[in-house]
Structure formats: structure tokens, C-alpha cells
Amino acid sequence: MIGPSTVEYIFLRASILFLHNIAPISLLYFALFITSFLLNWNPQAYRLPFPAEVWLLSEAAFYTIVFLPYENYLQRATTHPEPLTQEERANLFARCHKHVSDPEKYIRQWLLGAKSIDIKRENVKEFIRWAFWNAADVLQGDEDEVEDYVRALEKLLGRSIPHGKGSAKSLRLTLDKVNCSHRSLFWYLCVSVVDTITFCSMLYNGFHFHRTSLTCFIELFPFRPLTLVSTYESPAKHLTYWHRPHTSKTRLPILFIHGIGIGLYPYTNFLRELNTGDEECDGDVGIIALEIMPISSRITHSALEKDVMVHEIQTIIKYHGWTKYVLVSHSYGSIISTHLLKSPLTSPAIGNIMLIDPVSFLLHLPDVAYNFTARQPVHANEHLLWYFGSKDIGVAHTLARRFFWSENIIWKEDLGLAVEQWGEGRKVTVAFGGKDILVDTNTVGRYLMDASSKGLQTGDQAMGMASEVKVAAASGLGGAEREEWKTRPWMGSGLEVLWFEQMDHGQVFELERTRRPIIKAIGVYTQLKGTSLL
């Protein structure tokens, strides 16, 4: 993530201005080009050098022939999950209701920051119908239940909600328009260059690329010519991934799932460092790093449905013979992690977990949805998130047509239930940045650490590295007083938090000193005790 400085702001806004105006300039030049011939103007007076002319005419053709029809195609209504039963809705509402710390903010942000005077009963009901029925309208018999939820919100607010309908409009991701921005051929050329750098870096670091069938080559744009030389093929239909073979008999392998952005490029150093600097390791710790292309600045297939994604990941895991692994994910990857944890197909194989900047906790709160899709950007980092994240055509479609919050949310109790599956318990660490502009990390952190396990000592090795991890996490990251759970020593047991006071969303991967405590914690998580994996 970019910082909030004035220089970065000017650079970013200039970059966005350039990229955003390529299409209109290209169309204008194309119109001038055609008009000059139709009106018998001297074309040479208006012609640019041949390479520039080819580029602009290509951009104009790409916008009109590819982007506009594709944007219209993506507006199709989605297929929502099976509706919840009345009991399931009531339980979900009660759970959400219990964890709303700021009721006024909760209501206002779900209604796109509307003023309280503009929010009336029908506006709130409109939101509730979408949130708990996945619909714009419900059966007449369900309206009483909707009214019950409104009354419960009134008690939470400590005031009544006026009857009628105000001017407020609710945020209903899966019903609203897919709101995306055009991406130029020049931008996709940049993506292709970054992809090539990532490809070479991963190969250099000992990873093998597993492509999909060669017949699927044209289903991804920009094209990836280097993938044609890969001799490894993915056992899954849609998912490509990078694999480093697992040779250690005393460690567990790692499954890594990235977040929204430009693929695995921001994580190459992190993935390289996961298996370095450990002299006691008897071999390499295997890693599978999935590529989730619909959220990686590409034009490709729609984001996979939950069950399809789980099935394809399980197919990959079985293909490599893994029976248990450490799950590591970042940002949007926590949504896929949630599906893996909830599925009886994949959950038994998941050992310890590291969630970095997760977005799946307290997802009923409006922060993630509002900050990513509706907030008007002001600072440089907000513009970066807005233009290069939420306005990307694949990301916008994923969030508007494939993102069902009630399926994607995970509760602390879900992690507790998972603990009972293993004799020693599943260990979970959540890494947060104190300056995160997407997630309300203070609220989520308090929720996770309230009445949670305080990290019992689990052995000499966990004890030995506990202070090292915590010191590395805290050093140089701000000396202001923090809440106790933010500075609690990491013990390698139960549910714990690593807090990085000055880090924004995703910034923890940028510096070696902030990657180090996360990598050390994962290293402890991979350790087997008296058990041979192979």
C-alpha cells in the first residue's frame, strides 16, 4: 500500500488521471481519424507517429469491442445461495446484533453514510431484506419478521426509527450495479510485465508453476506466454498455483491464499523467506501458493462459487499427498479460508492458522463493504484501494455478484469448535495493522481477544521464540500506549494477535522487519511433535 504523503498523493492521482483518460483520448483520436477521411481533410495534419497511432486505435477498439459489451454482460443478476430458514436467520441476526459497538455508524454506513434524518423505516427494511434474505422483496409472511428486526435495531439505537421512506439508499452489494472502471491495454501490458517478474522470481526461489489445460490459455487476459513452457499441470480445472515440494519429515507444509491486487507479486519475498534461516529444519517446508485470477487484475472467468473453490483446493491438496497443513491467508484470502474451515471436506486437514489482515471477522459490520466499494477516496492510499482495487472489472464483479456475506463471515466460536477436532488444539494467529483503512482492526481485535485464550505455554520451543516474535513485531512500530491485548507476548498457543501499530492494509509484507515475526510464528506452527508426516 502507498503512504499518505503529499508526494505519493500527487504521483498516484497523476497515474490514475493518465490511465483513466487513455480511453477517451483514444476515442477522440479515432473520431478525428475517421472524420478526416469522410470530410476529405488532409489526414497528415492530424496524424501521430505510426506506433502511437496503432496504440490509440487499438485502445479505442478494445474499449468499444471488449470492455463495453463485457461490462454490460457482467450486470446480469447473480444466483444467490439457498435462503436461510427462519431459525437460521434469527440466530444470525442475534449474533450480529450482539456485536455492534456503534449502532448509529452501523445503520448509517450500511445506508451509504446517509444522515439520520434521511433514514426511515422502509430504508432500514430494504437493507434487512437484502442482508438476511438476499432479496429486494420478501414474502408477505416474512414482513413481520423484518419488522421484528427493525424493533430490535431501535432498542440498540435507543430511539425509534420514523415510518415512511427517506432519501437514503442502502448498500446491497449483490443487488447493486457492478460498478467498475475501464482498464486500458497499456495497463494490462503493465500487469503482464509484473506477472513476468513474478514468474521469474518464483522459479528462482524453487517453485514450480502448475498451469491449467493449454486449451484454457485464451481464457485469461493478459495472456501468459511463459505458462506455455511449464511442464506441470494443475489437477484443478480453474485454479493455477505455485508449488514448492515438501521434503521435511518434522514439519507441516503451508497453503497460502493471497488477497485482492495483482496476484502473488507482493508476496514473493514473504514466500521465499518462509523456508530460510532455519538450520534445524531437516528439509524444505512445502508451499502451495494459489493464484486467484478473478481478483488479480485480469479478465477471466467469474470467481468460483464456494463449493467449487473448496473442491478444487481439495483436489490440489490430495494431488500432492498432503494430509495436514498450515493455512496462511491474506485479506480476501481469509474469505476462502473461511470456506475451507467450514467445509467438512477440507477442515480436518487444516492444522494451525495464520490470518493476515483478514476481512472475514465481524463481516456484518459495514466497514469492509463500505470502505472498499462506497467510500469516496480522499487520501492517496484510499485512491489506490479505490481505483486499483474496487474498480477493477474482476474485483468489482466478484464483490457484486459472488460475495455473500453470510457465507463469508467467520466467528470466533467457529475457531473454537475447530479446536476440539485435535487433541492439542488448533492454534490461530491474526495479524493486524493499526492504520488499516479497510478493516476496523481495533474493533475486530477487541472482539477476538475478549475472553479468548491468553496463550498458554505449549513447550520450550514456543517459549523460546515468544519474546523474539513479539519484540520483532513491536520494534520501531510506534511507542504509544496500546491496549493490553496489542502488546501481549506471543506464546504460540490458542488464539493470538500480532499488532503492527503503523501498518496499513497489506503493508506488513513490504518490510523484512514486519514480515519476520509472522514468518517466525508460522515456523512454530509448522512443527510436528514426535510425528512423521511422510
pLDDT tens digits, 61-92: 999 999 999 999 999 999 999 999 999 999 99
> Is residue 487 situated within a structural domain?
yes
Q: What is the pLDDT of residue 6?
A: 86
SS3 for 464?
A: helix
Q: What is the pLDDT of residue 2?
A: 77
Distance CA 223, CA 205 (A): 23
Task: Give the position of cell 521469474.
Answer: 200
> Is residue 173 situated within a structural domain?
no
Do 480 and 520 fall within a single domain?
Answer: yes
Do 274 and 150 fall within a single domain?
Answer: no
Residue 108 region by backbone torsions, left for phi larger than 0, else alpha for psi between -120 and 50, else beta: alpha
**377-402 residues labelled b (16+ CB within 10 A) or e (exposed):** bebbbbbbbbbbbbbbbbbbbbbbbb
Do 38 and 114 fall within a single domain?
Answer: no
Do 273 and 228 fall within a single domain?
Answer: yes
> Is residue 51 situated within a structural domain?
yes
pLDDT tens digit at each of 534 positions of the chain = 677 788 889 999 999 999 999 999 999 998 888 887 777 766 666 678 889 999 999 999 999 999 999 999 999 999 999 999 999 999 999 999 999 999 999 999 999 999 999 999 999 999 999 999 999 999 999 999 999 999 999 999 999 999 999 999 999 999 999 999 999 999 999 999 999 999 999 999 999 999 999 989 999 999 999 999 899 999 999 999 999 999 999 999 999 999 999 999 999 999 999 977 555 678 899 999 999 999 999 999 999 999 999 999 999 999 999 999 999 999 999 999 999 999 999 999 999 999 999 999 999 999 999 999 999 999 999 999 999 999 999 999 999 999 999 999 999 988 854 444 444 578 999 999 999 999 999 999 999 998 444 433 333 333 344 444 444 444 444 444 458 899 999 998 889 999 999 999 999 999 999 999 999 999 999 998 643 333
Q: What is the pLDDT of residue 426?
A: 84
How many domains does the structure of the chain reveal? 3
Do 400 and 448 fall within a single domain?
Answer: yes
Whole-model pTM: value is 0.92
Do 40 and 105 fall within a single domain?
Answer: no
> Is residue 534 situated within a structural domain?
no
Domain hosting 17: range is 6-74
Rounded (5°) CA angle 321-323-326:
110
Q: What is the pLDDT of residue 395?
A: 98
Distance CA 417, CA 436 (A): 29
Do 19 and 111 fall within a single domain?
Answer: no
Do 325 and 360 fall within a single domain?
Answer: yes
Do 361 and 249 fall within a single domain?
Answer: yes
> Is residue 177 situated within a structural domain?
no
Least Cα distance to 100 among 293, 367, 414 occurs for 367
94-98 contacts, C-beta under 8 A, 24 or more apart: 95/364, 95/411, 96/364, 97/152, 97/153, 97/156
Do 194 and 153 fall within a single domain?
Answer: no
Contact between 130 and 174 (Cβ < 8 Å):
yes
> Is residue 145 situated within a structural domain?
yes
Backbone angles phi, psi at 176, to 5 degrees: -75, 170
Local structure of residue 308 (DSSP, 8 states): H
Q: What is the pLDDT of residue 43?
A: 61
Least Cα distance to 111 among 96, 127, 97, 125 occurs for 127
CATH classification of the domain holding 342: 3.40.50.1820
> Is residue 386 situated within a structural domain?
yes
Do 126 and 149 fall within a single domain?
Answer: yes
Distance CA 220, CA 236 (A): 16
Q: What is the pLDDT of residue 512?
A: 95
Percentage of the chain with pLDDT > 70? Answer: 89
Last residue of a domain, one of 74, 109, 134: 74
Do 287 and 309 fall within a single domain?
Answer: yes
| Cell of residue 202, nine digits | 518464483
The sign of the dihedral angle between the CA atoms of 150, 152, 154, 160 is positive
Burial of residue 237 (number of CB atoms within 10 Å: 0-12, 13-18, 19+): middle
| C-alpha separations of 126 from 91, 116, 222, 366, 451 in Å | 20, 16, 40, 15, 35
Q: What is the pLDDT of residue 16?
A: 96
Q: How much of the chain is helix, strand and coil, in % rounded to 5?
A: 50, 10, 40
- Furthest-apart CA atoms within the chain: distance in Å: 86
Side-chain half-sphere CA neighbours of 299 within 13 A = 20
> Is residue 1 situated within a structural domain?
no
What is the amino acid identity at position 154? Answer: E
Q: What is the CA radius of gyration of the chain?
A: 25
Residue 468 CB neighbour total at 10 angstroms: 13
